Amino acid sequence: MAGAALLGRLSWRVATVTRVVDETPRVRTLELELPGWPGHVAGQHVDVRLTAEDGYRAERAYSLGSAPGEPPVITVERLEDGEVSPYLTEDVRLGDSFEVRGPIGGYFVWRPNDGGPLFLAAGGSGVVPMRAILRHRRNTMSEVRVRLLYSSRTIEDVIYREELDGEEVVHTLTRAQPPGWTGYARRVDTDLLREVAWSVDDGPLAFICGPTSFVESVAAGLVELGYAPRRIKTERFGATGGP
Amino acid sequence: MEALDGNAIGGILYHVFDREMTMAQAECVCGARGPLAECEVYLGGPGVVVRCRVCHSIVIVLVEVRQMMCVDICGLNKLEVPLRASDQKVSW
């Protein structure tokens, strides 16, 4: 009975790092082993809590980058003045442990029955929950059409670059572009959205994730194009210095 | 300080209300209504400040003080807390 009563409760658990992947010079993916992990929905996140020797604690939220059914994975961008991300991107080693609580969230989530077509817009590490959605769509052989608009500073900052090559992705590189770049090279604006986003007539469902300013401008642009506000899901990371 | 949104406090809200709360419908005193996930959230201070996305007034303040979580919801007309499947209908 005690076990049943605990089901559904959200408690801090000790996660062990079972895999480390360097995505870019500033971004690292950590696969976690979490005993008793109940499984998650694409788009959900976890809270990570670090405790210093003097007892000082810092908590941050990180989106899950793996699909439901896969081991939980977080992808972390190092913020220079961060309290948590420098540890997760530089110091942590295979087999290290820290506290995690989750999965969390019921708003910024996608299940195949939610339909589409899906228009995903990501700024920087806002691509992490989008990968969960893209993978989940593939794993379930969903026929929902999906297109990702992904804004990065430079080509070197593109996270999950190889994996995304297999998806319908429109990149824009806002700070520098490699020689011969033929893609977009500016911040997302309404004209860009008009060219890239699904037509309103298709009844699209939009997910936007990234720095607050990115999310605000994309959401406003989609509303201007006629997207129904209720069909636009947003998740803001705050200021991260880019893209 | 830049605003986040209600997704960022999904864990804290779950801890306080013992259930998923980002989809809970909140009605501001200004009449605006929507899921908590869409509210503006400020995390930089000593507590959590939640503001209405329409009128920007404070709707919820969460502060942890001496093992107590103080939840001030004076800026809300209404907060619809979703029942869990295990919750039983109560007869008064």
pLDDT above 90: residue B91: no
- Dist. CA A147–CA A99, nearest whole Å: 34
Domain boundary among A54, A86, A104: A104
pLDDT band at A5 (very low <50, low <70, confident <90, very high): very low
The CATH number for A163's domain is: 3.40.50.80
Which residue, among B6, B10, B30, has the nearest Cα to A44 in the 3D structure?
A: B10
B 8-27 → A contacts, CB under 8 A:
8, 10-11, 14-15, 18-20, 22-23
- Dist. CA A107–CA B10, nearest whole Å: 10
Residues A151, A129: one domain? Answer: yes
Give me the mean pLDDT over the A85-104 stretch.
Answer: 96
pLDDT above 50: residue A6: no
* A243 within domain boundaries: no
> Is A190 an 8 Å CB contact of chain B?
no
Measure B47 CA to nearest chain A CA, in Å.
13
* A76 within domain boundaries: yes
Answer positive or negative: Cα dihedral of A135, A137, A141, A145.
negative
Q: What contacts 24+ positions apart, CB below 8 Å, involve A17-23?
A: A17/A92, A17/A93, A17/A94, A17/A95, A17/A96, A17/A97, A18/A71, A18/A94, A19/A94, A20/A92, A20/A93, A20/A94, A23/A75, A23/A159, A23/A160
Domain that includes residue A189, residue range: 112-236
Residues A97, A116: one domain? Answer: no
Domain boundary among A56, A75, A104: A104
Work out how many domains chain A is built from and give that number.
2
Residues A127, A63: one domain? Answer: no
User: Which chain A residue is nearest to residue B12, measuring alpha carbons?
Assistant: A47
Measure A15 CA to nearest chain B CA, in Å.
16
Residues A117, A228: one domain? Answer: yes
> Is A125 an 8 Å CB contact of chain B?
no
CB atoms within 10 A of CB A105: 29
Give me the mean pLDDT over the B12-20 stretch.
Answer: 93
Contact B84 A8 (CB under 8 A): yes
* A29 within domain boundaries: yes
> Is B7 an 8 Å CB contact of chain A?
yes
Residues A85, A141: one domain? Answer: no
Global confidence as pTM: 0.94
Q: What is the pLDDT of residue A3?
A: 42
pLDDT above 50: residue A243: no
- Dist. CA A212–CA A209, nearest whole Å: 8
Residues A84, A35: one domain? Answer: yes
The CATH number for A25's domain is: 2.40.30.10
pLDDT above 90: residue A242: no
User: Which chain A residue is nearest to residue B18, measuring alpha carbons?
Assistant: A9
- As for the ipTM of the complex, it is 0.91
pLDDT above 80: residue B64: yes
Domain boundary among A104, A135, A161: A104
Give me the mean pLDDT over the A71-82 stretch.
Answer: 94
- Secondary structure (H, E, C), chain A: CHHHHHCCCCCCEEEEEEEEEEEECCEEEEEEECCCCCCCCCCCEEEEEEECCCCCEEEEEEEECCCCCCCCEEEEECCCCCCCHHHHHHHCCCCCEEEEEEEECCCCCCCHHHCCCEEEEEEHHHHHHHHHHHHHHHHCCCCCCEEEEEEECCHHHCCCHHHHCCCCEEEEECCCCCCCCCCECCCCCHHHHHHHCCCHHHCCEEEEEECHHHHHHHHHHHHHCCCCHHHEEEEECCCCCCC
- Dist. CA A210–CA A158, nearest whole Å: 13
Contact B11 A235 (CB under 8 A): no
Mean of the per-residue pLDDT values of chain A: 93
Measure B33 CA to nearest chain A CA, in Å.
12
Residues A120, A195: one domain? Answer: yes
pLDDT band at A2 (very low <50, low <70, confident <90, very high): very low
* A154 within domain boundaries: yes
Q: Which two tokens stand for residue A140?
A: 């379930």
Q: What is the pLDDT of residue A129?
A: 98
Give me the mean pLDDT over the A39-61 stretch.
Answer: 95
Contact A236 B8 (CB under 8 A): yes
Q: What is the pLDDT of residue B90?
A: 65
Q: Which two tokens stand for residue B73?
A: 């919801």
What percent of chain A shows pLDDT beyond 90? 90
Residues A91, A22: one domain? Answer: yes
Residues A201, A93: one domain? Answer: no
> Is B2 an 8 Å CB contact of chain A?
yes
- Dist. CA B4–CA A241, nearest whole Å: 15
Could you give the count of Cα atoms lying within 13 Å of A90 in the half-sphere of its Cβ?
10
Give me the mean pLDDT over the A61-85 stretch.
Answer: 95
Among the partner residues B4, B20, B22, nearest to A236 by beta-carbon distance: B4
A-B CB pairs within 8 A amount to 66
More confident residue, B92 or B55: B55
pLDDT band at A162 (very low <50, low <70, confident <90, very high): very high
Residues A62, A160: one domain? Answer: no
pLDDT tens per residue across span A99-127? 999 999 999 999 999 988 999 999 999 99
Mean of the per-residue pLDDT values of chain B: 92
Measure B92 CA to nearest chain A CA, in Å.
24
- Dist. CA B26–CA A189, nearest whole Å: 31
Residue pointed to by tokens 């708003």: A107
Contacts with B4 from chain A: Cβ below 8 Å: 212, 236-238
Among the partner residues A46, A106, A239, nearest to B22 by beta-carbon distance: A106
Which residue, among A226, A188, A224, A194, has the nearest Cα to A208 in the 3D structure?
A: A188
Give me the mean pLDDT over the A138-156 stretch.
Answer: 97
Residues A92, A123: one domain? Answer: no
pLDDT above 60: residue A178: yes
Among the partner residues A8, A104, A234, nearest to B10 by beta-carbon distance: A104
Among the partner residues A45, A102, A107, nearest to B35 by beta-carbon distance: A107
Residue pointed to by tokens 């969903």: A142
* A242 within domain boundaries: no
Residues A55, A125: one domain? Answer: no
> Is A240 an 8 Å CB contact of chain B?
no
Contact B11 A108 (CB under 8 A): no
Q: What is the pLDDT of residue A37?
A: 94
pLDDT above 80: residue B87: no
